[in-house]
Amino acid sequence: MLFQRPQPGAAVLSALLLGGVAHAYQPDQPFVEAQKKHAQQWAQEDAALDERLAELEQKYGKRPNIVYILADDIGWGELGSYSGGILRGTPTPNLDAMAQQGMKFMSHYSEPSCTPTRLALLTGRYPVRTGVDVVLWPGQQQGLADGEVTVAEMLAQAGYKTAMFGKWHVGELEEHAPENQGFDYAYYGLYNGKPYSWANMDAFYKAETIDGNGFEYDFPGTLEDYQEKYGIEVHGHFEGIKGKGRREVEPLGATSMPTMESGNIERIKNYIRDNAQAEQPFFIYWASYAQQMAASPKAFRGRPGYDVPNLQSAELAQHDDYVQELLDTLREQGIAENTLVVWVSDNGPMYAFWPNSGYSWLRGGKGEVYEGGVRTPGIAWWPGMIEPGQTVIDLLSTTDLFTTAARIAGVRDEIPSDRVVDGLDQTALLLNGNGHGRRNYIFHYSGNRLAAVRMDNMKLHIKPGSQGGLPNMEVYNITRDPGEKFGSMYYQLSYVVPFQRLIGKHRRAIEKFPHRKLPTGTFVE
């Protein structure tokens, strides 16, 4: 068996009562207590959910397909359905329609940057637990450890076919690669958008007008020059197949990011068509490169209502169209009702590239644990299963996608039980709507430091040191003050001890299940 079971005599791991059956898995300690408090209520609710899922399986003869779309750097307030769209010079009619046809999350929380959020989605764990707590760059040796269990590995245990497309960005060594982390097939790039602009720099020095951008003026000429000077090879795009390894199929180029996006939507549509009527369900993880701002897709520039000279505008227009093409393909193949599609953004906007960047109505941006950095748009679409037109305020963490997929696929007992899994099963929220979420807390890490905590409507920002014995902190009522403008601790001192107790429970679980330590020498000093 792929997953390690708890040994006899080990500390008793959590038993999640679902339909009267105990399933071993170790959530964080605050949720263990919530399970005990709501055990009877949740068991009854889950029994009804199991009946709905069983009826769907009987109708289609297999478990539901699952598609996770991870967008990049799209802030809360960017889409038209979040009061952006045309107001921001970038209409998003297709994503807005998706939200209207399904469920729009007002309180989806990612990690503050791209590598960490990808790890959270893939493993259901806060990235600091996995041993990787930084954004990865070409030449780094850190990455997704073989000992971590990915959502693809878990779904494969249920007989799912698995495929990954787009931005991998959780390690460049072969051991980190998607074809070695549970995916049957993958077409992917290793990095974020920055190296794509490096490929453009030599030409940028020599020409007045060129596709792509010159964002890094001190880059040493070409990618070959960079490798010769620093010994770091910058790879292009790979195609990987489980059991057969990978091959580099396209070098990194100044405009290869938008062409990868256009190529991947065709690959995704073909994958859906090829597997729509197969006996096995499928899982697709599409990590879009949209809004990484390496180059502007020509076909999407200058549309009516769009901010014509803006890279972000053209890239989001491209992504908006491609999401619609995916949904249309599911409908055409007659499998929309048997396919859950979840779309979320990996973090807030990267204002370092303003004005060619996204935007958020909230305070902060990418790299910060203020709401603008970690609270991002999210949409769930499942015709016939998710009631359309819903706007929910319940908390949802990217880690929850891992555990929810396990529930829908029927492999809850394959969730690894020898470590803390932070993701919570949010099937009840998806199928029953607002008020049925099971999360009332989120821990926000900045690298390896616990920097903020959400508890119910309150949010604590932890600052270094103390103030004459008083805690150095900011506390906000996020419901009243989503912009985090009024956070004086003197009005919120009653929350000092409740937050201390919540953090204490979290840290005791870390003592019991320590963070993974990667081999010596893999960290950048």
**Catalytic positions:** 114, 169
Structure tokens at 32: 């263990």
| Contact call for residues 522 and 142 (beta carbons, < 8 A) | yes
Please choose, from the candidates 200, 297, 187, the residue with its C-alpha nearest in 3D space to the C-alpha of residue 249. Answer: 187
Q: Which helix (H) or strand (E) holds 467?
A: strand 458-467
Distance, in Å, from the CA atom of 268 to the CA atom of 156, rounded to the nearest integer, reads 19
Q: What is the DSSP string of 98-112?
A: HHHHSEEEEEEE--S
290 exposed, middle or buried (CB, 10 Å; 0-12, 13-18, 19+)?
buried
Structure tokens at 124: 């259901």
Other C-beta atoms closer than 10 Å to the C-beta of 327 total 21
Buried b / exposed e across 18-28, counting CB within 10 Å, b at 16+? Answer: beeeebbbbbb
Please say whether the dihedral angle defined by the alpha carbons of residues 400, 403, 408 and 409, taken in this order, is positive or negative. positive
* Half-sphere exposure in the Cβ direction for 251 (13 Å, CA): 9
**Coil/strand/helix, residue 142:** coil
* Strand-pair partners of 109: 375, 397
* Strand-pair partners of 476: 459
| Contact call for residues 430 and 404 (beta carbons, < 8 A) | yes
Distance, in Å, from the CA atom of 14 to the CA atom of 134, rounded to the nearest integer, reads 30
* Half-sphere exposure in the Cβ direction for 223 (13 Å, CA): 17
> How many distinct helices (H) and strands (E) make up the chain?
14, 17
Radius of gyration from C-alpha coordinates of the chain = 22
